[in-house]
């Protein structure tokens, strides 16, 4: 075993450092006898070449050596165009789709080693799923749909009723308890889907394009409610979307996929300011920069001496609000967080940050491979 780095005195207990979910070198290959390709652990050498070899033989590598962690309480967003492998990955996480190779660790335990029976228990108790097309049972009322997984859990009626009431209030469906799915709007149906997935009190919450079928205004409202639910429940979440603006609103971190592979994992602002390539830059093209970027995102790399003495501005100030303050201030402003000086922003540092993006956008425009962002996923 490698020697562990020395722990600082105030380290969090080791248990809390274990990610809630860890996906390691995950492959899903559709086609005949995909296992054949993994005999000699060839994955570790050159996954991209391996995937190319598979494609040349008519197989479909839908997830190519995908690795990521989701922390407790984190909203981890998977993005990518239609066909990039998002649904495949999220389904592999609960083994609704059987991975071809790799490890899926939930609380440090490998799901791929679980028996069918253990897996059913894990899915019933630990994992909640929400789908784009709601997936409700048409012949069951709202209450019955939500109570369905609780019956599978074997909960007594009293407990079922109290759980159902709780989640119905949580998603704002009071008064619609007896309705059937066809009597509800799309937004209301998805509320039922959300309530049903939360009724079992899962720790890992998987949502595959939950709002993509909804009208833009309803979608925004659902995003707000989703965030308010998450503030109360603090689930560990994997959320799929093909809409970068949606990802921007809700993500702690974003993983961008293309052709089954990870292109970049980072905070939304990392993808905006330091896109890994033109593909990422193109994805973030429609982002209203001046409203999204904050003073803390455009700090000067070299901090001029004495900059702490400059007039201060809070780290969370948007560029929109920063611009008028910065106009005519060549020496810049001190940026503070909770009153602490964390760096300095100057007209040059701001232009530098924006220019890096413009560079990549220029490249994306000239390139041939610009993705059709906004394509349904």
Ligand X SMILES: Nc1ncnc2c1ncn2[C@@H]1O[C@H](COP(=O)(O)OP(=O)(O)O)[C@@H](O)[C@H]1O
- Residue bearing tokens 């967080």: 337
Question: Is residue 148 within a helix (H) or strand (E), and if so which, with residue range?
Answer: helix 142-153
365 binds, among Mg ion, ligand X, none (CB under 5 to 8 A by kind): none
Phi, psi of 130 (to 5 degrees): -130, 135
Binding of Mg ion by 87 (CB under 5 A) = yes
Binding of ligand X by 62 (CB under 6 A) = yes
Binding of Mg ion by 100 (CB under 5 A) = no
As a whole number of angstroms, the distance between CA 218 and CA 181 comes to 17
- Residue bearing tokens 């028996």: 115
Binding of ligand X by 83 (CB under 6 A) = yes
Q: Shortest gap between Cβ of 237 and ligand X (angstroms)?
A: 17
How many C-beta atoms surround the C-beta of residue 47 within 10 A?
18
The residue range among 10-18, 33-41, 79-87, 163-171 that interacts with Mg ion, by the rule CB under 5 A, is: 79-87
80 binds, among Mg ion, ligand X, none (CB under 5 to 8 A by kind): ligand X
In this chain, which of 65, 79, 88, 93 binds ligand X, going by CB under 6 A? 88
**If you count DSSP H runs as helices and E runs as strands, how many of each does the chain have, helices first?**
14, 13
Is 150 in contact with 114 (CB distance < 8 Å)? no
Among residues 335, 340, 342, which one has the least CA distance to residue 314? 335
Own/partner long-range contacts of 49-54 (Cβ < 8 Å, ≥24 apart): 51/259, 51/260, 51/261, 54/29
DSSP state of 13: P
The residue range among 22-30, 52-60, 81-89, 346-354 that interacts with Mg ion, by the rule CB under 5 A, is: 81-89
Residues 30 to 59 in contact with ligand X, rule: CB under 6 A: 30
The nearer residue to Mg ion, 37 or 211, going by C-beta atoms, is 211
Among residues 67, 63, 78, 80, which one has the least CA distance to residue 28? 63
Task: Report the residue number whose CB is nearest to Mg ion.
Answer: 87
Binding of Mg ion by 84 (CB under 5 A) = no
In this chain, which of 65, 87, 197, 317 binds ligand X, going by CB under 6 A? 87
Q: Shortest gap between Cβ of 29 and Mg ion (angstroms)?
A: 17
As a whole number of angstroms, the distance between CA 258 and CA 69 comes to 18
Binding of ligand X by 16 (CB under 6 A) = no
Total residues contacting ligand X (rule CB under 6 A)? Answer: 12
In this chain, which of 202, 266, 275, 377 binds ligand X, going by CB under 6 A? 377
Q: Shortest gap between Cβ of 56 and ligand X (angstroms)?
A: 15
Residues forming contacts to Mg ion in the complex (CB under 5 A) are 87
Residues forming contacts to ligand X in the complex (CB under 6 A) are 30, 60, 62, 80, 82-88, 377
């Amino acid at each position: 075993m490698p020697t562990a780095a020395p722990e600082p005195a105030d380290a969090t207990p080791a248990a809390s450092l274990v990610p809630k979910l860890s996906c390691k070198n995950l492959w899903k290959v559709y086609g005949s006898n995909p296992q054949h390709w993994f005999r000699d652990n060839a994955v570790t050498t050159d996954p991209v070449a391996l995937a190319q070899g598979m494609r040349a033989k008519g197989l479909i590598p839908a997830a190519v050596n995908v690795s990521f962690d989701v922390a407790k309480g984190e909203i981890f967003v998977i993005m990518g165009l239609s066909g990039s492998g998002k649904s495949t990955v999220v389904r592999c996480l609960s083994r609704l789709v059987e991975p071809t190779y790799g490890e899926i660790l939930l609380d440090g335990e490998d799901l791929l080693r679980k028996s069918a029976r253990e897996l059913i228990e894990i899915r019933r108790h630990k994992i909640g799923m929400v789908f784009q097309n709601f997936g409700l049972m048409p012949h069951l009322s709202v209450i019955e749909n939500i109570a369905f997984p609780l019956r599978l859990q074997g909960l007594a009626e009293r407990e079922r009723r109290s759980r159902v009431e709780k989640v119905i209030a949580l998603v704002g469906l009071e008064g619609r308890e007896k309705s059937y799915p066809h009597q509800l709007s799309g937004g209301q149906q998805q509320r039922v889907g959300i309530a049903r997935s939360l009724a079992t009190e899962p720790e890992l919450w998987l949502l595959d394009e939950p709002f993509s079928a909804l009208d833009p205004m309803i979608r925004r409202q659902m995003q707000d409610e989703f965030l308010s639910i998450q503030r109360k429940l603090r689930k560990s979440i994997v959320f799929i979307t093909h809409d970068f603006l949606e990802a921007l609103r809700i993500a702690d971190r974003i993983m961008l996929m293309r052709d089954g592979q990870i292109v970049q994992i980072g905070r939304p602002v990392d993808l905006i300011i330091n896109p890994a390539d033109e593909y990422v830059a193109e994805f973030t093209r429609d982002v209203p920069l001046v409203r999204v970027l904050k003073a803390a995102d455009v700090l000067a790399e070299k901090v001029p001496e004495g900059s702490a003495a400059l007039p201060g501005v809070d780290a969370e100030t948007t560029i929109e609000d920063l611009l008028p303050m910065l106009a005519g201030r060549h020496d810049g402003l001190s940026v503070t967080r909770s009153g602490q000086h964390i760096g300095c922003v100057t007209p040059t540092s701001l232009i530098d940050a924006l220019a890096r993006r413009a560079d990549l956008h220029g490249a994306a425009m000239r390139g041939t491979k610009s993705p059709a962002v906004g394509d349904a996923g």
